């Protein structure tokens, strides 16, 4: 229900009505806080500035009558009066009431159908559901600034979470993901370092070191290739640290600083908005009570004329006017807080959107760097075994046997002639 600034419903004191013609059935006259007389049909809650015709029971010169509510954005009027309590306003489709007039204007009023109007304190306003839906700020994008004004029910349906809180949770989750990705890369680096260490150690192993010939040369190259591969993996781990892990950690620290700028700011504005709304409601109730008191004292005056009763009516009228002024003041304070909240909400959601896009793009780039380094490492690993392949193709058992025999021969066995 839209909250509107109510005029003081002040019945006219005796002798003040300039027209002696009796009002039609169901019509009553009141004074606005500005002292201007208007008329209310208590049966239909319709209002008019002009005295109703006694013959028809309807305003003599009907004209459009609408509230002075300003455009509404995401359940809140950008200037004017609150459309909903801060706790529930975000659940409504964003509406715009357009330009309108209040009781302080000079335009006459007009009948409106009950289906398209809403009445507050005998004042009729256009119903929010009859207003056109407001345009999105970014109609061609699924932007944060358009889709996180409403509260969302939790999975169990036991409560709701403010839309902006969902954005903050998204950012905090993103920060946690960055941390976990950095830890993942750190573990990958440890594996590479440990693997390189074990390869280097194995390359120094003396097993089968006595193998000879061309096969011995190939075997020695196999062991050397382990040392070369160990060096490749050490370089890979060093590049992972400098080109992937470290940038991820640095970005995470900067991301935390950016998050602190808006972490609690919007929440504080929401609390202030709720407080302002409560003040408006309190002032509205106070005005209603003052108007009721004034109407009661006026009815007493109709029963019994006395100077005391007239004095009480004057006091009641002053209090009613003061209550109307207090309500206007509370509404102004609410509008200021609401306008600030709206501006900061748009600005901050766009900033959070920028941070999220930047985070995803940064991680994508560094994961691409990881795959590139991995491809390079695989290529270098392949290069370490190429000399082994070349030597293995040159292994010649016959030549190895010949060389060994030449080096280690002990002599030949020759037949000896026997003497008779």
**pTM to 2 decimal places:** 0.58
> Per residue in 76-95, pLDDT tens?
333 344 444 444 333 333 33
Q: Sorting pLDDT into bands at 50, 70 and 90, what band is 25? A: confident
| Mean pLDDT of the region 43-47 | 67
DSSP collapsed to 3 states, the chain: CCCCCCCCCECCCCCCCCCCCCCCCCEEEEECCCCCEEEEECCCCEEECCCECCCCCCECCCCCCCCCCCCEECCEECCCCCCCCCCCHHHCCCECCCCCCCCCCCCCCCCCCHHHEEEECCEEEECHHHCCECCCCCCCCCCHHHHCCCCEECCCCCCEECHHHHHHHHHHHHHHHHHHHHHHHHHHHHHHHHHHHHHHHHHCCCCCCCCCHHHHHHHHHHHHHHHHHHHHHHHHHHHHHHHHHHHHHHHHHHHHHHHHHHCCHHHHHHHHHHHHHHHHHHHHHHHHHHHHHHHHHHHHHHHCCCHHHHHHHHHHHHHHHHHHHHHHHHHHHHHHHHHHHHHHHHHHHHHHHHHHHHHHHHHHHHHHHHHHHHHHHHHHHHHHHHHHHHHHHCCCHHHHHHHHHHHHCCCCCCCCCCCC
Q: Taking 50 as the threshold, does the pLDDT of residue 364 lie above it?
A: yes
**Lowest-confidence range among 169-178, 188-197, 292-301?**
292-301
Q: Taking 90 as the threshold, does the pLDDT of residue 222 lie above it?
A: yes
> Per residue in 88-143, pLDDT tens?
333 333 333 333 333 333 333 444 445 666 554 444 555 556 555 557 888 888 99
Identify the pLDDT of residue 398. 93
> Per residue in 249-258, pLDDT tens?
888 777 766 6
Q: Taking 50 as the threshold, does the pLDDT of residue 294 lie above it?
A: yes
Q: Taking 90 as the threshold, does the pLDDT of residue 304 lie above it?
A: no
> Per residue in 202-211, pLDDT tens?
999 999 999 9
**Lowest-confidence range among 4-18, 114-128, 142-156, 388-402?**
4-18
Q: Going by CATH, does the domain composed of 164-405 fall within 3.30.565.10?
A: no
Identify the pLDDT of residue 70. 36
Identify the pLDDT of residue 201. 95
| Mean pLDDT of the region 400-404 | 92
Identify the pLDDT of residue 302. 67
Q: Sorting pLDDT into bands at 50, 70 and 90, what band is 14? A: very low
Tell me the pLDDT of the chain averaged across its residues: 75
Q: Give the highest mean pLDDT range of 42-56, 75-89, 309-323, 359-373.
A: 359-373
Q: Taking 70 as the threshold, does the pLDDT of residue 235 lie above it?
A: yes
Identify the pLDDT of residue 84. 44
Identify the pLDDT of residue 160. 83
> Per residue in 330-363, pLDDT tens?
888 888 888 888 888 888 888 889 888 988 999 9
> Per residue in 380-393, pLDDT tens?
999 999 999 999 99
Identify the pLDDT of residue 21. 57
């Amino acid at each position: 229900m839209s909250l509107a600034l109510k005029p003081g419903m002040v019945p006219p004191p005796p002798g003040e009505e300039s027209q002696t013609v009796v009002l039609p059935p169901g019509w009553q006259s009141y004074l606005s806080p500005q002292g201007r007389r208007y008329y209310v049909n208590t049966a239909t809650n319709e209002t008019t500035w002009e005295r109703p015709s006694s013959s028809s029971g309807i305003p003599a010169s009907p004209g459009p009558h609408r509230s002075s509510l300003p455009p509404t954005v995401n359940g809140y009027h950008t200037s004017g009066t609150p459309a909903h309590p801060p706790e529930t306003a975000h659940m409504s489709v964003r509406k715009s009431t357009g330009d309108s007039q209040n009781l302080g204007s000079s335009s006459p009023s007009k009948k409106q159908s009950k289906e398209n109007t809403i009445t507050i304190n005998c004042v009729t306003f256009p119903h929010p559901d009859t207003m056109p839906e407001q345009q999105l700020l970014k109609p061609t994008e699924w932007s944060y600034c358009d889709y996180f004004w409403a509260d969302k029910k939790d999975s169990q349906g036991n409560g709701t979470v403010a839309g902006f809180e969902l954005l903050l949770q998204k950012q905090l989750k993103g920060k946690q993901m960055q941390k976990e990705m950095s830890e993942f890369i750190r573990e990958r680096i440890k594996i590479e370092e440990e693997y390189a260490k074990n390869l280097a150690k194995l390359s120094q192993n003396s097993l089968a070191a006595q193998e000879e010939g061309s096969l011995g040369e190939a075997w020695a190259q196999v062991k050397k290739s382990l040392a070369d591969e160990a060096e490749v993996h050490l370089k890979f781990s060093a590049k992972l640290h400098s080109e992937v892990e470290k940038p991820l950690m640095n970005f995470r620290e900067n991301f935390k600083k950016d998050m602190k700028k808006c972490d609690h700011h919007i929440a504080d504005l929401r609390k202030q908005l709720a407080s302002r709304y409560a003040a408006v409601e309190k002032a509205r109730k106070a005005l209603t009570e003052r108007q009721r008191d004034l109407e009661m004292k006026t009815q007493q005056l109709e029963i019994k004329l006395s100077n005391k009763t007239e004095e009480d009516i004057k006091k009641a009228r002053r209090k009613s006017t003061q209550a109307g002024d207090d309500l206007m003041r509370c509404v102004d304070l609410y509008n200021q807080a609401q306008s600030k909240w709206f501006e900061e909400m748009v600005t901050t959601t766009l900033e959070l959107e920028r941070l999220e896009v930047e985070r995803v793009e940064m991680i994508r780039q560094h994961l691409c760097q990881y795959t590139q380094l991995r491809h390079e490492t695989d290529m270098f690993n392949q290069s370490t075994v190429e000399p082994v392949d070349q030597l293995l193709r040159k292994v010649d058992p016959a030549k190895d046997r010949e060389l060994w025999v030449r080096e280690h021969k002990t002599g030949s066995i020759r037949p000896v002639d026997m003497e008779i």
